[in-house]
Amino acid sequence: MKLPVVIPLLLVSSIALASERSTVSFSLDNDGIFGTDEDYTNGIFLSYTTSAIKPWAFFKPLSLSYWGSASLDKVEFQLGHKMWTPSDIEATVPLANDRPYAGYFHGELNYISLHPQQAQRFNFTLGSTGEGSFADHAQQLVHSIVGSKEPKGWEYQIEDKMVGSVGYLTHLNMKRAPVYGNTDWDVSSVTEANLGTFRSDISTGVMLRLGADLGGNFGSANISTENPFKAGMIGASNQGWFTYLGVKARYRFNDITIEGDRPGIPEPSDAYHVTLESFQGEAVVGAAWYNAYVGISVFAGTKSAEYKEASKSIYGNGGLSLFAFF
């Protein structure tokens, strides 16, 4: 059989194998690994990603296959919960020049399109801040169970409001080469844009990875301190592992967790407002391993201050993701 015929058959067979697998994952972020309890302090995420689908007519332009590449497409559904707190959660009065209490409980719909040289994700997110996020009850419950400090300032949190965003993320492979055995390294650009009432921003960065079957898991790790690993973006791969290091720069136009109204703040409320820092940076280091059934990913991340009055220039957190294929 001629080589030009063999290559497409191998590609089709690998996609067919991967199409039999759906993914469920549970992810947790927390800044406790750095001994802190402030800023972005906790995130919990539960997601389900379909097996490979044939792009529906309405979504065809979102698929890499529409533009001439053989792609593996999926849809991901995710529930997420994030919370942010000031530096002193035991304070019973609002703190000037400090990050406000904020929570975000949201649902997320992602259209994923994968290729060994490019991965992309279109995103739609909708959720609630304020009391509708249940962040105050969640933190108080968890802290009472683990014996941590009691948060006493949630009455000053960002207002109860429905917010959302649409976004686009793309990974472009710039170089991939063997190291030894079945181990490779690659370097990729990672670009993202979001627009909405929750946050609007644009960012770009570079990621370096070392591991096995990098083409099959390309795009699954992102440069973010908030839920950076997407197990559903593992493509035509039944087993693999990799470590990764990424850095990026971002310009943020708006952020309700910083700029949102706080109806509980006493007048004059201007004394407690903080100012969004538009130019931001993030760095993340992590590792992932999986076989045909289960997998695990861990990360540690750091970011620059997101508001100008911050007392620190750098904040950090880490996280864990557990996932299974079926």
219-245 tens-digit pLDDT: 999 999 999 999 999 998 999 999 999
Of 137-151, 153-167, 298-312, the poorest mean pLDDT is in 137-151
Read off the pLDDT band of 5 (50, 70, 90). very low
CATH of domain 23-325: 2.40.128.140
E strands of the chain, at which residues? 23-30, 39-49, 72-85, 102-115, 118-128, 162-180, 183-196, 199-212, 240-255, 279-290, 294-304, 314-325
- Quote the pTM value: 0.91
Res. 13: pLDDT tops 80: no
Question: What pLDDT does 268 receive?
Answer: 81
How far, in Å, CA of 203 to CA of 248, rounded?
Answer: 7
How far, in Å, CA of 173 to CA of 215, rounded?
Answer: 9
Res. 259: pLDDT tops 80: yes
Question: What pLDDT does 20 receive?
Answer: 56
Question: What pLDDT does 271 receive?
Answer: 82
Work out whether strand 279-290 and strand 240-255 pair parallel, antiparallel, or are unpaired: antiparallel
Question: Before 268, cis peptide (omega within 30)?
Answer: yes
Q: What is the DSSP letter of 65?
A: G
Question: What pLDDT does 19 receive?
Answer: 42
Question: What pLDDT does 141 receive?
Answer: 85
Structure tokens at 14: 């690998």
Question: What pLDDT does 142 receive?
Answer: 87
How far, in Å, CA of 160 to CA of 163, rounded?
Answer: 10
How far, in Å, CA of 323 to CA of 147, rounded?
Answer: 29
Res. 255: pLDDT tops 60: yes
How far, in Å, CA of 244 to CA of 290, rounded?
Answer: 15
Span 300-325, pLDDT tens digits:
999 999 999 999 999 999 999 999 99
Could you give the percent of the chain with pLDDT greater than 90?
A: 80
Span 47-96, pLDDT tens digits:
999 999 988 888 899 999 988 888 999 999 999 999 999 999 999 998 89
CA-wise closest residue to 275 among 253, 308, 315: 308
Read off the pLDDT band of 16 (50, 70, 90). very low
* Highest mean predicted confidence (pLDDT) among 8-12, 106-110, 133-137, 179-183: 106-110
